[in-house]
Structure 1
Amino acid sequence: MAYTDVNYLRSLGEVDLELKQSSVITEYEAQFLDSINIPAVDYDSTEGLRAMVAASEALTIMSLGPPSAQIKQSELTYETRDGAELSALLYQPTHPPSNDSPLVVMFHGGGFCVGSPHGEEHTCRNLVLAFNATCISASYRLAPKFPFPYGVKDAWDCLRWAAREARSWGADPLAGFVVGGTSAGGNIAAVLAHMARDEKLSPPLTGQYLAIPKLLPWDRVPERYREFLLSPAENANAPILPASAVEAFERAFKPDNDDAVWYGVFNHPRSHAGLPATFLQVNGADPLRDEAIIYERVLREEMGAKTKMYMYPGLPHGFWIIFGALESSRKFRIEQVEGIGWLLNRAPDYSGVITRV
């Protein structure tokens, strides 16, 4: 298979030609691309990063415009095990079908340090429109004020809350129950899929969605997979998320790299047997690329799990968020809906889906 060919893996990091063409990206995106390296982003400045991410999220929301009349959007709170009240955004079909609205719970990215539930708003709106799904995009406490394992344990409390409350929102988890996330949120989703299995979450998850996930501490790679983990070095200076950013986020989050239950889930002590179907989206010019590729292969070949993976060669971490005008971003959004439809065993209705902002 191509993903065991190290030369093919290296080719995935070659910069996508479309990304280089200023004519296909907006003026804002071009300025953002220039600013990534000039001046360099200070990833150790959490406050500066939060302001930048908040501005990006605000731009996305402005570009999306108000929710469609088919979507009811509201804000809820859930309580963590230590009594903290955290926010979550709820997206519902305005006229939900009887006992047939699947539940999707999403967690945003941001290196466990930045971001908000609005980071998954585009995705959640599309899932309501495509599947009449009920979608939660939840907050979790962020580092450095709340280092590991606060955020992921908050997310587990959230997932259990969502399972309990789903029917009060008009959702039916028996019609489909997916946990998903992007980047750090992808790590969270992968951890929660194992927790749901081990703690016998009821109703059980039927799928996990992992977009550009962080799954494997680079200093804890099992020997037999080490030759295939090329992307941290190959994409060390990639735009959006260079390796220095990963390391800065880890300094703030302070994860325990030996904790394979709440963080380095690739090395989970109870293996990956019995997990639900898994859908991944992976970017070629991303230092996190190869850990996702290896994980998909382990799930499929060693665990016999159902998997689907889409690869975006030459494109950096989170490109569809920053460079929404790219044709590749449109493709990402279409395939995101398609892949989550695969998890839900439903054909998408693309008529209202927003593929580009």
Structure 2
Amino acid sequence: MSQASHINALHPSVVDRLDPQFSKIFTQYQAPKLQAHQVTYEEYNANRSKYTFSIAPGPYPSVRSIQLYKIPVSAPPGEISVQVYHPTGDGAANGALKTADGKLPAHVNYHGGGFVIGGLQSDESWCRQVCQAVGCIIVNVDYRLAPEFPHPVSLTDSWTALKWTFASAEKLGIDASRVSVGGLSAGGQLAAVLALLARDEPDMPNLVLQMLVVPLVDTRFIPTQGSCDKDVPYRSYIENEFAPCLPVARLVWFFNLWLGTDVVKRKKVSEDFRASPILASSHANLAPASIHVAGIDSLTSEGIAYHETLVKAGTKSQLNVYDGVGHPFGHWDGELDKAKEFVQDTIAALKKAYSV
């Protein structure tokens, strides 16, 4: 089947700008199939596996243990799951980050998926690799999803999981003075907001890093239908409107399920930092950031803008832009060289944060 005959053939506006390796992988795995945003939520929810693709997954190194915990949450009442990864003895020794009393640093990870899809398996390869290569504990959080649990449930669940991590530090063998947060896409948005909340929580130890991967940081400009206004401040909404994997149409689908379609209510919500962390009243004194942006992504400009906002406020931030790749490229490290580079960059950033 030719690229032109695929259901989701690469759009002419991006073809010449994409890394050839990325284009090949996308064409093989995603182009022939419908994506979730191209059907109703009801159709997607009836057969989620039909719209879920295994794309060039990376290595799955063995870890010492993976334990599942259930955490009670409120608003509304319920429970969420977290997976806690511990490195093997060799992994912990390689990182050389263990304290004298045997504790290790921890990274709290929030998966992506537009607050609508995804789960504990989304980042499993990355979690395993980082756990072993850094020699740290990974707390992988399965927050509740829209539309059954719209904003701000994903955030309140995630905040509860972070507080649980600190409260459980002794039991889990975590060095509470070396905890980081991070996530991809929606998970990056959650991590950015959590870094703001943590800064202002007097009883919470300082976070040592916020790892923001292709993050969403401003929800004001995605419409309930159609394209973004041409004068939108984030040019990637226009230049990368038809980006592979996360075109603006997919953001519209996610936002309508996560934030609702009532324009008045949505405007009010989107102007609050809990939905748009770039609008926080202050970005000073935050945990240092490690920001990773895909070059051909509807969110490219937002990630760069957030880096600039942090730096202007005096918060340390390292920006990595991976040219020629689309939104979920970091999951493709089984085949994509720039994804392998990304994984190594995140490992290096965490090692540096935990070694200070």
Q: TM-score scaled to structure 2, two decimals?
A: 0.81
Q: Which has the higher helix share?
A: 1
Alpha-carbon distance in structure 2 between the residues aligned to 1:230 and 1:280: 18
Pick one of 257, 273, 294 that aligns with 1:261: 273
Q: Which amino acid in structure 2 is aligned with residue 340 of structure 1?
A: L
The aligned residue for residue 353 of structure 1 is none
Q: Which amino acid in structure 2 is aligned with residue 93 of structure 1?
A: P
The aligned residue for residue 56 of structure 1 is 54
Task: Confirm or deny: 8 A CA contact 1:118 1:137 kept in the other structure.
Answer: no
Deviation, structure 1 residue 229: 1.5
The aligned residue for residue 181 of structure 1 is 183
Are 1:166 and 2:169 counterparts? yes
Alpha-carbon distance in structure 2 between the residues aligned to 1:258 and 1:327: 36
1:145 and 1:327, CA in 2 relative to 1: closer, same or farther beyond 3 A? same
Alpha-carbon distance in structure 2 between the residues aligned to 1:135 and 1:113: 23
The aligned residue for residue 351 of structure 1 is none
Are 1:92 and 2:86 counterparts? yes
The structure whose RCO (Cα within 8 Å, separation 6+) is larger is 1
Alpha-carbon distance in structure 1 between the residues aligned to 2:120 and 2:242: 28
Are 1:237 and 2:242 counterparts? yes
Are 1:335 and 2:337 counterparts? no
Are 1:34 and 2:39 counterparts? no
Q: Which amino acid in structure 1 is aligned with residue 352 of structure 2?
A: W
Task: Confirm or deny: 8 A CA contact 2:59 2:129 kept in the other structure.
Answer: no
Output the aligned Cα RMSD: 2.7
CA offsets per residue over residues 180-200 of structure 1, 9 Å max, x none? 011000000001001111123
Alpha-carbon distance in structure 1 between the residues aligned to 2:84 and 2:220: 35
The aligned residue for residue 352 of structure 1 is none
The aligned residue for residue 212 of structure 2 is 210
Deviation, structure 1 residue 102: 0.3
Pick one of 246, 250, 253 that aligns with 2:255: 250
- Of 45-54 and 238-247, more deviation after overlay is shown by 45-54
Pairwise mapping of residues 64-143 of structure 1 onto structure 2 (< 5 A)? 64-65=59-60, 67-68=61-62, 70-82=63-75, 83-95=77-89, 97=98, 98-143=101-146
Percent identity over the alignment is 28
Task: Confirm or deny: 8 A CA contact 1:44 1:249 kept in the other structure.
Answer: no
Q: Which amino acid in structure 1 is aligned with residue 217 of structure 2?
A: L
Task: Confirm or deny: 8 A CA contact 1:260 1:266 kept in the other structure.
Answer: no
Alpha-carbon distance in structure 2 between the residues aligned to 1:316 and 1:49: 25
Q: TM-score scaled to structure 1, two decimals?
A: 0.81
Where does structure 2 lack aligned partners over 5 or more consecutive residues?
Answer: 1-12, 93-97, 223-230, 261-265
The aligned residue for residue 155 of structure 1 is 158
Secondary structure in 2 aligned to 1:105? strand
Alpha-carbon distance in structure 2 between the residues aligned to 1:73 and 1:40: 30
Q: Which amino acid in structure 2 is aligned with residue 91 of structure 1?
A: Y
Secondary structure in 1 aligned to 2:182? strand
Are 1:284 and 2:295 counterparts? yes
